[in-house]
Amino acid sequence: MFLNQFLLLAAVLFCIGVYGVLVRKNGVLVLMSIELILNAVNINLVAFSAFNQNIDGQVFALFIIAVAAAEVGVGLAIVLLIYRNRRSIDVAEANLLKG
Amino acid sequence: MFAAEEVSWLFRNVWLIPALPALSFVLILFFGKRLPFKGAEIGIASVVVAFSLAVLTTFAWIGNIQSAESHSEEAIFLEGPDGEQTPIVLTAEEAGEARGAPIITEVEWFSIGPDANKVILGTEGNSDAGHDEDGHSDDEDEDGHSDDEDAGHDDDEEEGAGFGGDDNVVDVAFAEDGGTVAEAHGDRFSISIGTLVDGQSVMMLFVVTFISLLVHVYSTDYVKGDRRFTHYFAFLSLFTSAMLFMVLSTSTMQLIVGWELVGVCSFALIGHWWEEKANSDAALKAFLTNRVGDIGLLIGMSILYFAAGRTFSIPRINELAVNGTIPKGTLTIAAVCLMAAVMSKSGQFILHTWLPDAMAGPTPVSALIHAATMVVAGVYMIGRLYPVFFIGFGIAGSSINLMAFIGGLTTVGGGALAFVQKDIKKVLAYSTVSQLGYMVLALGMGAYTAGMFHLFTHAFFKACLFLGAGSVSHACHHSFDMKADMGGLRKYMPKTFWTFMIGSGALAGIPPLAGFWSKDEILVGAGVWPNTGGNGTYYLPFVFGMITAAMTAAYMARTIWLTFFGEYRGHDEPHESGARITTPLIILAGMAVVVGFLNMPSGFVKFFGAPEGLAHRFEDWVEPAGVSTFVTSDNGFTHAKPSLSLAIVATLLALTAGGAVVAYYRALYAKDSKATEYTDGVMSRIPGLRAGHKFLEEKYYLDHLYTGAIAGGTKGPLARATDWFNQNVLDGIVNGVGKLSVGLGNFIYNIIDQKAIDGVVNGSGNSASGAGQFLRGMQTGQVRQYATLMFGATAVVAAIFIFAV
Amino acid sequence: MSTSFLLAQVNDAASAPFERPDINWHAVAPELVLLAWGAFVTIVDLIGLERTRRFIPSLTGIGFLLAMIPILTLWDAHAGDATGLAAVGDTFIVDRYALVLKGLFLISAYVIVLLSTNYMAEGDYYDSEYYQLIAASVLGMLVMASARDFITLFIALELVSIPAYLMAAWRKRDLKSNEAGLKYMLMGVFASAILLYGMSLLYGVTGGRTDFAGVAEGLADQGTTPVITMGVLFTIIGFAFKVSAVPFHTWAPDTYEGAPTPLTAFLAVASKTAGFVGLISLIVFGIGVQGAIVRPFLWILAALTMTIGNLIAMRQTNIVRMLAYSGIAQAGYMLAPLAVINQGSDPALVRESIVNYLVIYAAMNLGAFAVVIVAARKTRSGEIESFGGMFRYAPGLTALMTVFLFSLTGIPPMGGWLAKFQIFKALIEAGTTAGIALALIAAVNSVIAAFYYLSVAKNMWFMPAPDGDNSPIVIPPALVAALAITVIVTMVTGVTGIAPDLTDFGALAAN
Amino acid sequence: MQSFLENWGITAMVFAPLVGALIMMLIPEREEGTHKLIALVSTVVAGGLGALLMLDFDYAKAGEMQFGRDMRWIEIINARYAVGLDGMSLPLVALTLFVVPLVIIYSWDHIPSPGNAKAFLMLILVLHTGMIGTFVARDLVLFFVFFEVVLLPMYFMIGVWGGEKRLYASIKFFLFTLFGSAFMLVAFLALYNLTGGESFNIERLAELVQSEGLSTRTQVLLFGGMFLGFGIKVPMFPFHTWLPDAHTQAPTQGSVILAAVLLKLGTYGFIRIAIPILPEGAVEWAPWIGLLAVIGIIYGALGCLAQTDMKRLIAFSSVAHMGYVMLGIATLTDFGINAAIFGMVAHGLITGLLFFLAGSIKERYHTLEIKRLGGLLVQAPKMGWVLGITTMASLGLPGLAGFWGEFPAILASYNPAPGLNQTVFRVYMVVAAIGTVLAAAYLLWLLQRTAFGTPSEEFIDDPEITDMQWNEWVAWVPMLIMVIVLGFLPGLLFDISNDKVSALGEIFQALGN
C-alpha cells in the first residue's frame, strides 16, 4: 500500500525526466533531466529495499548516486567543450554527423 | 565358293570394311598434304581394299545362302524333332550358314546398371573383334575382363545359335545373352557395338563401297586443284566409314551414332566450299533439317529400347515386335517417331527441302551421299526395323498408312518439282526425292523386297546420272544451268551422253534397264492390279506410283533434251571429260543395265527359258532369315505376284510421257535450236503486227498446243503450283521455324531474361538499396530524435508486450 | 509515520551483521594487475611529463599483456572447474567463459593500443591520458565479464562507458568529435538510466535480489506481470544500446564517424563485446527464465538489427560509417541465438556460439580498422572510393583487407564463416519455426552484407586510384603487429576451428 | 609410399596447389617466369598425385569410398576432415586435375590485362584447391567450406581481369552464389539437427535419415534449401542470369574454369548430397527439377539464338547443356545419373575448349561480335578445325563426348524412376529432344558466322591473326583428344561412375516399389 505511492512517485519522476531529455535543447537541462530519472530509480530502489527488507537496494542507490556524479561530471565537460567550440549548448545544433 | 573357315573369318571381321576408311580418314588428315597425291591415294587404296572385302563378303554371303538352300531340308530336319528347344550343339557359323540368319559379332561398348559382378554381356565372337570400327584399341573399355571370359562367351554364343533353329527367333544368340543375362543380373544392361551380317547389310556394303570407290576415282579429276583437295578426300573416307558403320549396326545405338556421323560428313561436304554463304547455308539447312528428324529418331529408339526390355539390339527388338511382346500401340508410336527421322534423312515430304539445297556440294559428293547412299539411310533403317513398322502401321490388309502416304506424296511431289528446274543437279535432286519416296512407298505397302531392290538399283543409275551431270558441268565450265550453258552436248561428249541416256532410261523404267524391274515390283506390291496379291489394297499409293512413272520419264526426257540436244548455248567449246571421269560413268551405266536382272520374276525367267535358279535371286539373297520367318509368321508380309500386264502398262505410260516431252523439244529446236522454251509469242507480241507470222507458224502453234496440253499441263500449272508450294510454303515453314526460333530467342533474351528475370534480380538489389537510402534518411543527426526513437521503441515494445501478448 | 516505518524496516534489514565475503585474490588478479599498472602509468606520466610521453603507449600495452598472465594461470588452475571461482561472493564469478572474454578484452585492447600509437602521436592530441582512459575502460570490461550481479554489472558498465565518452570527444577542436562525444554521452547516460529503472523494478519484483541467480529464481516463481515485462525489457534495452541494436543504434554511426578511428575500433569491438558479455550474462544467468518476453523481443531486435544495419550500410560512402553499420548488422547475428534461449537448444551452446562470434568478430573487425587506419595515412580520406587502386600499389594490404572483409561476409576459410555457422547451428538446434525463420533472415542478410563488403573489395581490386597516386604505403611497425595478430586469428580460427569449449560447465548448471 | 598414398594422397592432391600459391606469395611479382613455373609445377604435382591415386584406385569397388581419411577437425561444430574418392567423384576430380594445368599452360603468354601473373596464377591455384576439395569432401561442413572457397578467386578473376562490365558481373556472380549457399547451409544444419546432431558425414547422414524416418515433408523442405544452393551454382533456370554475365566478362582462363569445373559443383552437390541423403524429398522435387531443366534447355538455346557475342552465346549454351545434366539427374535412374556425370565431364571439356577458342579469337580480332567475324578457317585453319570439332561435340554429335551426356539423359527420361510421373517425363523427353535441334541451330550458326565465309575487310590483312600458337596446341589438343576418346569409348567413364550411381538408382527402384 505504501509501496505503490513511492513507485508512483518514481514513475512520475521518470516520466518528467524522459520528457526533459526528449524536448529540452539545452545540454545542461538534458543532463539534469537524466538526473531526475536516476533519482526515480533511487526512489524505486530504496522503496523496494524497505519493502523487501533487503539492504541491497540502498547500496545500489548509493552506487548510483556516485556514478551519476561521475556521469554528470563527464557530461558537463563535454557540454563545456561544445560551448567553447560553438558558443552554444543547443544539442539540436549538433547535427554534423548524420545518415 | 569359299572354305568354311574363310567364310567364317570374313563374316566375323567385316568390321574391317568400315575400319579401313576410318583409318584412311585419320591418315589423310594428318599426313595427306605431304603425300604426292595429296592423300587421295590413301583414300582410294583403303576403299579398294574395303571394296574387295565387301565383294568377298557378298560372294561369301551368296554362297552361304545357296548352300543353305541346298541344305534347307536338312536344317529343318535338325530342328524339327526338337520341340523342347534344348540346345543343339551347332556352331554359330554352321547355324548361320544353315539358315541364312544374320551373323552377329559384337563387343560390349559400355554398360550401365547395378551389378557388382561386372559380367560382360553380349556375344563376343573372338578377341580380334575387340576393336571398334575406328581402329582404336578397345582394351580399356573392357577393363581386361574380356580375355578371361572369352571362352565362356563362345559357349553362350553356341548355345544361342542352337536356339536359332526356332523359326520365330531372329537372332537367338543375342536374345539368349541379352535377355536372360539381363534378367539374371537385375537391370544391368550393356550397349554393344558390332557387326550384323545379313542380306540387307551385305547389299549395302557392296553398294557403298562400290560407289564410293568410283566416286573416289572420279573425284581425283573432278576436284583436281581444289584448295581443300586433301580435306575433301578425308571426308569422303570418313563418310564411307560412317556409312558402313551404320549399315553394319547391331544395335539401335550404333545406328544412331552412324546416322549422325554420316549427317555430319554430309554437312562438311555440302559446305565444302564454305567461303560462299549460300553453300554453308545449305549445309546448315541440311544438318538442321536432319536434326529435326533426329528428334523422332531419338524418341523412337528410346521407346523401342524400353519396350524391348532395355535393349538396343536390333534383332531383339524385331523379335519382340514379331512375337507380340511389344504392344502394337507402342510400335505405332515408335514407328511414327522413326518416320520423322526417315522423312528428314531420306528427304520425304515435308522435310525434303534440304536435299535440293545440298546440291551446293561437289557433284561426286551429291552422287555418293545425296543420291546413292546416305539419303537411303532412312529407307535402310525402315528395312532394319521392318517388323516395327510393319506391325506398327498395320500394313497388312490395309489400303493406306502414314508411310505409304508420305512415300506417295513425296514421289509425286518430287517428280513434279523436277520439271521446273533449270539446274541439272536440282532436277536430279528432286528426282532423288521422288525415287526415295518410291522406296518408302514400297515399304509402306509391305513390298519390302521391292523397296530394297529399288534402293539397290537406284544407287547405280542415280550415281551414274549425278556423275554424268558432273561430267557435263566439268565440260561447261562448272555451270549446272541447263538452259543457259548447255544444249547439244551429245556431239561433244558422247561417252557422257550415252551413259546419261542409260541412266535416264533406267530411272524412267525403260525395260530392260535396272529401274524397270524394281519399279515394276513396287507397283505390283500395291496389291491393286489384278492377280498380284500383296499385303493390302493400296489404291492411292498405286496411283501415285503410276503418275510418278509417267512423270519420271517426262522430266528425264526434258533434261536430256535440254542438255544434250539442240545447240550448245554456253561459251567456249565443251569437251569430253577425262578417263577418270568417264570410266566410272561407263561402269555405272553397265551396272544400271545389268543389276535389274538380279531379281527377275520367275515367270519372266520361264518365258525366256532361263534356268529357274536365276529368278528372284536378289530376294533370296537380301531378305534376311529374320524377315523370312517374319514373312511366314502370322502377322508377316507376303510377296506379291508379278504381273506382265502391269509392266506393259507402266512402261507404255512412261514412254508416252517421255515421248510427249521429246516431241515438244524436237518441235522447239526445230524452230530455234538455241531456244529452251517457247517464249510465249501470243502474249508478248503485238497482235496486229505479228498476226500473219503467227498464222504462218500455225503448225508450231498447234504443236505447242498439243504438246503443251500433255507435257505443259503437267509442267505448267501443277508443277508450278507444286514449286510455289515448295518454295514458299514448305521452305517458308522451314525458314519460318528458323526465324521464329530466332525471334523467340530474341524475345526471350531481351524481354524475359534481360528485363523480367534480370529485372527481378537487379530490382531486388535496387529495392534493398532504396530501402537503405530511406532508412538512412531517418538518421537525422539530431540526438533528441535518437533519444525519442529509443524511448519510443521502448514504450511501444513494452505496450505490445504488456497489452497484446 | 511512514518514515519511521521505513526506517524500522531498514534497521531490521541492517541489523543483520555484515560479513565481508571471501575474496579470492587470485581470481581478481587480472583486474588488480591492470588497476595497479594503470596507476603506475599515470604516475609515470605525471612525473615524466614530456620525457616519458612516447613510452606511455608501450607501457599501457605491457599492462594489458601483464594482466594476461593471471588469466593464463587461472585458466591453467581452474579450467576444469564446473562452476567457476566465486571471487567476491556470488557477485563476481571467474569461470572459463569469463576468462576467455577477459583474454579477448585484453588482446583487443592491446591491438587498439597498437592502432592508436601512430594515430595519436601524429595527430597531436593529449595522448597519455588517452591510454589511461583505455586502461580504465578495459578494467570495466574485465569486471563485466565476471559480473553476476546487477550492482557489479552496472558499475562495470559505467566504468566501460564513461572513459569512452571522453575519448569519443578526444579531438578537442574538431566539431565532429565534440558532437560524437556529446551524442554518445547523452544517449549512453539515458540508456543507463532506463537500464537502471528496469533493474530497480526487477529488484523489487524478485523480492530484493540483485544477483542473477536470485533474479532468475524470483522470476521463475511468478508469471509475467506488466512490471516484470517492463523490468525485463528496460534491462535488455540498456544493453541493446551498448551493443547498438536497432532501434537503439542511432548513436553508433555518428559516434564512430566523429571519434578518432582507433577509438572507433575500440567502441566497435571492445565496448560492443563488453555490452554483449553483459547481455549474455544477464539473459543466460538471469532474466532468460522469462523466455516469453525475452525471446520474442530479442527475435525482433536481432531481425531488425541485422536487416536495417545491412540495408543502411549498403548506402554508405564513408568506410568508417560503413563499418559502423556493418558492426550493427553483425550485432544482429550475435543477438540471434539469444532469441532462442532456453528453447530446445542448450543455453551453453547459445552462449558459446556468441562468444566465439565475439572472438572472431574482434579479430576481423580490428583488422579491418587497422587497414583503414593504415590506408588513411596515405589517402587522408575515409571515403570508400579512396581505396581505389590499392591492389596496384599495396597488394599485401589489399589481400589482408580482403581477408577481413570476406571474413565479415562469412566466406570460408576466413574465421567469419565459423562464427556465422555456429549462430546458424544454435538457431536451428532450437528446432522452432521462429529459430529457422531467423536463420533464414540471417542467411538473406549475409547476402546483403556481402554486397557492401564486396564494394570495398571492388574498389581496392578493380578500380584505379582516384588521384592516380600509386606510390606504395609505408606501414609502421605497430600497425604491422596489429595486422599480423588480427589476420592470424582470423585465418586460424577459420581453418582449424580452434575455439574454447564453453559448452559443458559454468554457473549454468545452477541455473 | 603406398601408405602415404592411401592415407594422405587425397590431402596432398588437394593442397598441393595451395602450397604452390603460398610459395608464390613469397616471391616478388616481377619474376613472372618463376611464378608460371611454380603454378604449373604445383598443378602438375596435384595431377600426378591424382594420377597415382587413380592408378591405385580399385575400379572393381568403384562404388565404395577409397583412400578415405576421417580426422578430427572443428570439434565445436562436430565437423570432421573426411575425404575420399569413389566412382562418383573420380571423374570430376580427374576433369579438374586435367583442365587446370592446361589453363596454366594457356596462361603462359595469355595473362589478361592488367597483368600481374603472380596474383592471377595464385587465384587459379586457390581455385584449384577449392574445386578438388569440394569433390573429395565427405563431410558436409568440409564440402561447404570448399564450395565457398571457390567463390573468392573467381570473383577477383572476373573483377580484375574481366571485360568491360566486370564489376557488375563479378558482384552478381558472388551474390547469387552466396545467396544459394546461405540457404544450403541452413538446410545442412537443419538436416544435422533433425538427424540427432550426430554427424555431418554424408554417408552417415543418409543412413540416419532413413533410421530416423524423416517425414517426406521435412525432406522436401530440406531438399528445397539444398536445391537453392546447388541449383544456383548449376545454374538452373531461373537462377541462371549470373552465368552469361560472369562468363562473358571473365578472362578466358576464368571462363574455362567456370565452365569446365565450377558449374559441376552444383550438379555434383545434387548427386552426392541432396539426392542420396534425401531420397523421398528428391522424388517430390524431381518433376520440378525436370521441368526447370527442360525449360533451361529450350530457354538457353533460344537465348543463344539471340546473342550477338560469341562468348555470351557459349555462356548461354551452358544453361542449355546443364539442363540435360539436370534432366538426367531428375530421372533418378542409374542411366540418367550416369549420363549426368558423363554430361558434366563432357560439358567441362567441350565448353572449356569453346571458351579457350573464344579467348584466342578475341585476342586476335579484338572483338567477339559474331557479325564482324568470319573466315576463321581461312585465316587460322587449324583453329577453325578445332572450333568445328568442338562445335560438333557441343551439339551432341555421336562419336564425340557431348552425345553421351545428352542422349542417355533423354533416353532415361522416357522411363524415370518408379514413383515419378511417366507422362510428365516423357513430355520432358520430347522437349529435350527438340532442344537438340536448337542446339545444333545456334552452334552451327556460330560456326558458320565465325569459321566459314571470308574474313571481313577490317581483318583481312591483320598480321595479328595467326594460327594456333604452341601453348594453344598444348592446352587444347589434350582436351580435344579426350573429347574424341570419350566419344568413342564412353565406357571409360561409365564404368567408373556406374557402380556408385547404380547403388543410388537402386534406392529409387526400391522406394518406388
Mutate one of B230, B753, B761 to test the D interface: name it (highest D CB count within 10 A).
Answer: B753
**8 Å CB contact of A91 and C165:** no
Mean pLDDT to the nearest integer, B252-280: 87
- Give yes or no for residue B18 having a pLDDT over 60: yes
**8 Å CB contact of C190 and A57:** no
Q: Chain A residue with minimal CA distance to C7?
A: A50
* Burial of C434 from C-beta contacts in 10 A (0-12 / 13-18 / 19+): middle
| Residue C331 Cα, gap to closest chain A Cα (Å) | 19
Task: Give the per-residue pLDDT at A14.
Answer: 92
Task: Give the per-residue pLDDT at B572.
Answer: 74
The type of residue at C240 is A
- Give yes or no for residue B164 having a pLDDT over 50: no
Taking the Cβ of residue D410 and every Cβ of chain B, the question of whether any pair is shorter than 8 Å is answered with yes
3-state secondary structure (DSSP) of residue B446:
coil
Q: Chain A residue with minimal CA distance to C180?
A: A97
Taking the Cβ of residue B772 and every Cβ of chain C, the question of whether any pair is shorter than 8 Å is answered with yes
**Residue C465 DSSP label:** P
> Tens digits of per-residue pLDDT, C317-356?
899 989 989 999 999 999 999 998 888 767 888 888 899 9
Query: CA–CA distance from B118 to each of B106, B158, B650 (Å)?
Result: 17, 22, 60
Nearest to B417 by CA among B409, B404, B427, B432: B427
> Tens digits of per-residue pLDDT, B330-363?
889 999 999 989 988 888 887 777 888 888 888 8
The phi and psi torsions of C83 (rounded to 5 degrees) equal -110, -5
Question: Quick check: do B and D touch, 3+ CB pairs under 8 A?
Answer: yes
**Separation between Cα atoms, residue B664 and residue B704, nearest integer Å:** 7
Measured between beta carbons, the chain B residues lying within 8 angstroms of A97 are 781
> Tens digits of per-residue pLDDT, C405-462?
999 998 888 999 999 998 998 898 888 888 899 999 999 999 889 988 988 988 898 8
- Give yes or no for residue B684 having a pLDDT over 60: no
Size of interface B-C (CB pairs under 8 A): 76
**Separation between Cα atoms, residue C154 and residue C238, nearest integer Å:** 10
Q: Taking a C-beta distance cutoff of 8 angstroms, is the pair C148, C90 a contact?
A: yes
Q: Taking a C-beta distance cutoff of 8 angstroms, is the pair C392, C470 a contact?
A: yes
**8 Å CB contact of D302 and B111:** no
Identify the structural domains of chain A with CATH numbers, from first to last. Answer: 3-97 (1.10.287.3510)
**Residue D272 DSSP label:** I
Q: Taking a C-beta distance cutoff of 8 angstroms, is the pair B395, B637 a contact?
A: yes
**Ranked by mean pLDDT, which of B393-397, C220-224, C225-229 comes out on top?**
C225-229
Contacts of B753 (CB under 8 A, 6+ apart): D241, D299, D303
**Separation between Cα atoms, residue D55 and residue D74, nearest integer Å:** 32
Q: Report how many domains make up chain D.
A: 1
**Separation between Cα atoms, residue A87 and residue B602, nearest integer Å:** 129
Q: Chain B residue with minimal CA distance to D381?
A: B228
Long-range contacts of C42-51 (CB under 8 A, 24+ apart): C42/C132, C45/C128, C45/C129, C45/C132
**Residue B110 DSSP label:** E
Measured between beta carbons, the chain A residues lying within 8 angstroms of C193 are 17, 34, 37-38, 41
Q: Copy the grid coordinates of residue B126.
A: 573372338
| Alpha carbons within 13 A on the beta-carbon side of C405 | 24
Task: Give the per-residue pLDDT at D139.
Answer: 92
The type of residue at C131 is Y
Task: Give the per-residue pLDDT at B673.
Answer: 66
Taking the Cβ of residue B804 and every Cβ of chain C, the question of whether any pair is shorter than 8 Å is answered with no
Question: Quick check: do A and D touch, 3+ CB pairs under 8 A?
Answer: no
Query: CA–CA distance from C346 to each of C280, C426, D296 (Å)?
Result: 14, 8, 45
Residue with cell 579438374: D96
**Separation between Cα atoms, residue B638 and residue A19, nearest integer Å:** 108
- Which among C2, C5, C182 is the nearest to A82, CB-wise? C182
Residue with cell 613455373: D37
| Alpha carbons within 13 A on the beta-carbon side of D488 | 18
> Tens digits of per-residue pLDDT, D347-389?
999 999 999 999 999 888 888 888 888 888 888 888 998 999 9
- Give yes or no for residue B83 having a pLDDT over 60: no
Measured between beta carbons, the chain D residues lying within 8 angstroms of C422 are 76-77
**Separation between Cα atoms, residue B486 and residue B465, nearest integer Å:** 16
The phi and psi torsions of B600 (rounded to 5 degrees) equal -75, 145
Mean pLDDT to the nearest integer, B408-429: 82
Task: Give the per-residue pLDDT at B685.
Answer: 44
Long-range contacts of D272-275 (CB under 8 A, 24+ apart): D272/D88, D272/D89, D272/D143, D272/D202, D273/D140, D273/D143, D273/D202, D273/D226, D273/D230, D274/D223, D274/D226, D274/D227, D274/D230, D275/D329, D275/D332, D275/D504
Dihedral sign for Cα atoms in the order B110, B115, B120, B121: negative
Task: Give the per-residue pLDDT at B115.
Answer: 56
Mutate one of C306, C421, C490 to test the D interface: name it (highest D CB count within 10 A).
Answer: C421
Q: Taking a C-beta distance cutoff of 8 angstroms, is the pair D229, D180 a contact?
A: yes
Q: Chain B residue with minimal CA distance to C444?
A: B768
Task: Give the per-residue pLDDT at C278.
Answer: 93
- Which among C391, C425, C455 is the nearest to D160, CB-wise? C391
Three-state secondary structure string covering A66-95 = HHHHHHHHHHHHHHHHHHHHHCCCEHHHCC
Question: Quick check: do A and B touch, 3+ CB pairs under 8 A?
Answer: yes
| Residue C111 Cα, gap to closest chain A Cα (Å) | 26
**Separation between Cα atoms, residue B246 and residue B756, nearest integer Å:** 46
Query: What counts of helices (H) and strands (E) characterise chain A?
Result: 3, 0
Taking the Cβ of residue B771 and every Cβ of chain C, the question of whether any pair is shorter than 8 Å is answered with yes
- Give yes or no for residue B400 having a pLDDT over 70: yes
Q: Taking a C-beta distance cutoff of 8 angstroms, is the pair C87, C30 a contact?
A: no
Q: What is the ipTM of this complex?
A: 0.83
Q: Chain B residue with minimal CA distance to C447?
A: B765
**8 Å CB contact of B788 and A22:** yes
Task: Give the per-residue pLDDT at C23.
Answer: 84
Task: Give the per-residue pLDDT at C1.
Answer: 39
* Burial of B608 from C-beta contacts in 10 A (0-12 / 13-18 / 19+): exposed
- Give yes or no for residue B499 having a pLDDT over 60: yes
Q: Copy the grid coordinates of residue D332.
A: 533418378
> Tens digits of per-residue pLDDT, D5-22?
888 889 999 999 999 999
3-state secondary structure (DSSP) of residue B536:
coil
Q: Chain B residue with minimal CA distance to A96?
A: B781
Q: Look over chain C and give the mean of its residue pLDDT values, rounded to a whole number.
A: 87
The type of residue at B595 is V
Size of interface C-D (CB pairs under 8 A): 104
Chain C residues interacting with chain B (CB cutoff of 8 angstroms):
182-183, 186-187, 190-191, 194, 226, 229-230, 233-234, 237, 241, 247-248, 250-251, 253-254, 292-293, 296-297, 300, 308, 310-316, 448, 451
Q: Copy the grid coordinates of residue D173.
A: 556472380
Q: Which residue has the higher pLDDT, B90 or B99?
A: B99
Q: Look over chain B and give the mean of its residue pLDDT values, rounded to a whole number.
A: 74
Task: Give the per-residue pLDDT at B143.
Answer: 39
The type of residue at C420 is K
Mean pLDDT to the nearest integer, B696-716: 42
Q: Taking a C-beta distance cutoff of 8 angstroms, is the pair D304, D320 a contact?
A: yes
3-state secondary structure (DSSP) of residue D84:
strand
- Give yes or no for residue B170 having a pLDDT over 70: no
The type of residue at B700 is Y
| CA C130 to chain centroid | 19
Q: Chain D residue with minimal CA distance to C417?
A: D145
Q: Taking a C-beta distance cutoff of 8 angstroms, is the pair D418, D369 a contact?
A: no
Nearest to B236 by CA among B368, B370, B425: B368
Nearest to D252 by CA among D195, D296, D310, D211: D310
> Tens digits of per-residue pLDDT, B42-58?
888 888 998 988 888 88
Task: Give the per-residue pLDDT at C220.
Answer: 85
The type of residue at B164 is G
Q: Chain B residue with minimal CA distance to D484?
A: B136
Measured between beta carbons, the chain C residues lying within 8 angstroms of D166 are 462
Question: Residue B633: which pLDDT band, with cuts at 50, 70 and 90?
Answer: low
Element (H, E) at D222: helix D216-233
Residues of chain D with confidence (pLDDT) below 50? none
- Which among A38, A45, A96 is the nearest to C175, CB-wise? A96
Query: What counts of helices (H) and strands (E) characterise chain C?
Result: 20, 2
> Tens digits of per-residue pLDDT, C107-148?
999 999 999 988 888 876 777 888 999 999 999 999 999 998
The type of residue at B240 is T
* Burial of D55 from C-beta contacts in 10 A (0-12 / 13-18 / 19+): exposed
| CA B654 to chain centroid | 26
Residue with cell 532361263: B610
**8 Å CB contact of B783 and A97:** no
Q: Copy the grid coordinates of residue B295.
A: 528428334
Task: Give the per-residue pLDDT at B4.
Answer: 66
Measured between beta carbons, the chain D residues lying within 8 angstroms of C434 are none
3-state secondary structure (DSSP) of residue C312:
helix
**8 Å CB contact of C443 and D185:** yes
Q: Where are the domains positioned within chain B? A: 711-751, 753-805
Size of interface A-B (CB pairs under 8 A): 30
Query: CA–CA distance from B572 to each of B116, B475, C227 (Å)?
Result: 75, 10, 116
* Burial of B119 from C-beta contacts in 10 A (0-12 / 13-18 / 19+): middle
Residue with cell 557388382: B116
> Tens digits of per-residue pLDDT, C49-74?
788 888 888 999 999 999 999 999 98
Taking the Cβ of residue B273 and every Cβ of chain D, the question of whether any pair is shorter than 8 Å is answered with no
Task: Give the per-residue pLDDT at C491.
Answer: 92
Q: Taking a C-beta distance cutoff of 8 angstroms, is the pair C199, C154 a contact?
A: yes
**Separation between Cα atoms, residue B61 and residue B98, nearest integer Å:** 12
CA-based end-to-end distance of chain C: 41
Measured between beta carbons, the chain C residues lying within 8 angstroms of D79 are 497
- Give yes or no for residue B124 having a pLDDT over 80: no
> Tens digits of per-residue pLDDT, B667-683?
777 777 666 655 544 33
Task: Kindly give the residue spans of alpha helices, DSSP state H, lying in D263-418.
Answer: 263-269, 275-277, 279-305, 310-331, 334-365, 376-379, 381-394, 401-412
Q: Chain A residue with minimal CA distance to C18?
A: A55
- Which among C197, C253, C255 is the nearest to A37, CB-wise? C197
| Alpha carbons within 13 A on the beta-carbon side of D264 | 32
Contacts of C393 (CB under 8 A, 6+ apart): C465, C469, C470, C471, C472, C473
Residue with cell 527388338: B317
Question: Residue C152: which pLDDT band, with cuts at 50, 70 and 90?
Answer: very high
Identify any residues that bridge with C234 across adjacent strands, giving them in sequence order.
none
Mean pLDDT to the nearest integer, A6-15: 91
Task: Give the per-residue pLDDT at D503.
Answer: 86
> Tens digits of per-residue pLDDT, C453-495?
988 988 898 888 888 778 888 889 999 999 999 999 999 988 8
Subunits close to A (at least 3 CB pairs below 8 A): B, C
Measured between beta carbons, the chain D residues lying within 8 angstroms of B271 are 452
The phi and psi torsions of B691 (rounded to 5 degrees) equal -60, -45
